[in-house]
Amino acid sequence: MRDPSFDMEEPGTFIFDGPRSTAGMRLNRFALSLKQPSNRATFLADPDAFMNRWDLTERERSLVEARDWTGLLAAGGHLQAILKLAATLGLNLYHIGAHNCGVDAHQMMHACPRRVVSDMPHG
């Protein structure tokens, strides 16, 4: 089993700086809107119409449709915002990290076995 690399140079790590933030503004607004249950339901029912509401570019739409987590981060997606999109689709941070490292989620979980337990209610 290949261990994921933790490379601090792109494409391993994306620095979320001013230019990247500006480039990802539409994408992050779209993804953060998924905090609202009604927006999640609308997105899941008709992703194209929902992405149209947020004026995503063709490239951004393609990245969302492809579940290209690495591409979304490179396009200016903030990890916390992109995680909202992943969670809406039933995925988690392991899936994003695994995609970025070129391994599958199980390999990532094996490499990073930390479990966080919370007594906070879900939902």
Q: Is residue 11 part of a domain?
A: no
Q: Report if residue 10 sits inside a domain.
A: no
Q: Report residue 4's pLDDT band, with 50, 70 and 90 as the boundaries.
A: low
Whether 39 is covered by a domain: the verdict is yes
In a domain, 101, yes or no: yes
Report whether pLDDT(94) > 80: no
What CATH number does residue 31 fall under?
Answer: 1.10.700.10
Q: Is residue 116 part of a domain?
A: no
Burial category of 61 from C-beta neighbours within 10 Å (exposed 0-12, middle 13-18, buried 19 and up):
middle
Q: Which domain holds residue 48?
A: 18-111
pLDDT, tens digit, 9 for 90 and up, residues 35-49: 999 999 999 999 999
Whether the pTM exceeds 0.75: the reply is: no
Report the C-alpha gap between 104 and 112 in whole angstroms: 12
Contacts of 14 (CB under 8 A, 6+ apart): 20, 73, 74
